[in-house]
Chains A and B, each alone.
Chain A
């Protein structure tokens, strides 16, 4: 979307410059009939992108309701656009022991288990975050995170996420609250074992 907007505005500005450098019929015609309508189209697209209705597909809506309902829908959709949907088969390892994960994942469906030295410490289901604690502590994983059934996740590269959140304090604080709640639930689950 942003690339399309930039390309449209770039084209219309190029015609504007051509018209400024050489004001004659050969530039006035494309300027009047192309540059101005194209700029108007780009601005209309921008307005739609910024203020228009938010559209989510079924997966996005489900994930939003599961874990991110405290975010504004538009912020959530933009956040989703930064991530990649991934599927893990049963038995597939999402995080290995000793690994410094570079992505944080959230489960849309399926289930994963945390295993340390062959012992299952707990299981995480839809709406739960995977790898967030390791990223916060910057420590290597002490166990494996393994899909115990076919699992679909949305994965964000932490570097990209961090860079974007740095510029969006409102989204950052909402996400911090989500991560804190997720951590509290994990601690509670562990302590109740």
Chain B
């Protein structure tokens, strides 16, 4: 089974350019670190060297690295590096009947970016909001200020669903989706896709950390 899972057709093609973008900021950071070590040992640097070593190269390294790192932080693997997210990640791959696992098992969202695919919102601001939420997650992780079971900070924005479903025939053919009251209730977040009509996004035991909390 493992051999089959690794066969070329079953392997995600990945991003071939990414390793190069990862090496460039690494090299720039090392050069800047060399200059800093000289400055640290000698206690002085020429003005131009100081400007390059302290400001120019580090800023360039951070700017390039951040583009790579922001991309890498979309990976499910990154989300699951927080122990609290592990049960949720595992459940999405378990085909356990939850909405998330249904999407993953049907290839409706890329497995490698399944968290980001549904939780980033739609459009440019969706990406930005996802990153801000990520920072919020990290603050709660550092402070241990999260509560179980995990809940969304705010009602789920169904734009993420509609980005794929809005124009699909199967979605439009469902009579209830065309009802004005239902549409209004969904768009105003009074009602959610999950719960009444569709299964919960994640199983409750996964949201409770499967006993792995703290």
Contact = CB atoms under 8 A, between A and B. Distances in A.
Nearest to B33: A13
Contacts of A167: 46-47
Contacts of A9: 32, 36, 53-54, 58
- Chain B interface size band reads 35 or more
Interface stretch (A28-36, A99-107, A114-122, A143-151): A28-36
A17 B29 contact: yes
B74 to A, nearest CB: 11
Contacts of B32: 9, 13
Given A6-B40, A23-B73, A39 B62 contact: yes
| Most chain B beta-carbon neighbours within 10 Å: one of A16, A39, A50 | A16
Contacts of B51: 46, 50
B185 interface: no
A110 B193 CA distance: 88
A184 interface: no
A8 B77 CA distance: 30
Interface in B35-78: 35-37, 39-40, 43-47, 50-51, 53-55, 58-59, 61-62, 65, 68-69, 72-73, 75, 77-78
Interface in A1-40: 2-3, 5-7, 9-10, 12-14, 16-17, 19-21, 23-26, 28-29, 31-33, 35-36, 39
Given A20-B25, A43-B54, A10 B69 contact: no
A43 B55 contact: yes
A42 interface: yes
Nearest to B37: A10
Interface string B149-178: 000000000000000000000000000000
A6 B29 contact: no
A169 B126 CA distance: 53
B20 interface: no
Contact of A42 (B35, B40, B54, B65): B54
A46 B54 CA distance: 8
Contacts of B78: 23-25, 28
B55 A46 contact: yes
Interface of B: 22, 25-26, 29-30, 32-33, 35-37, 39-40, 43-47, 50-51, 53-55, 58-59, 61-62, 65, 68-69, 72-73, 75, 77-78, 81-82, 135, 138, 141-142
Interface of A: 2-3, 5-7, 9-10, 12-14, 16-17, 19-21, 23-26, 28-29, 31-33, 35-36, 39, 42-43, 46, 50, 167
The 8 closest A-B pairs by CB, nearest first: A24-B81, A6-B39, A6-B36, A25-B81, A10-B36, A6-B40, A23-B72, A25-B82
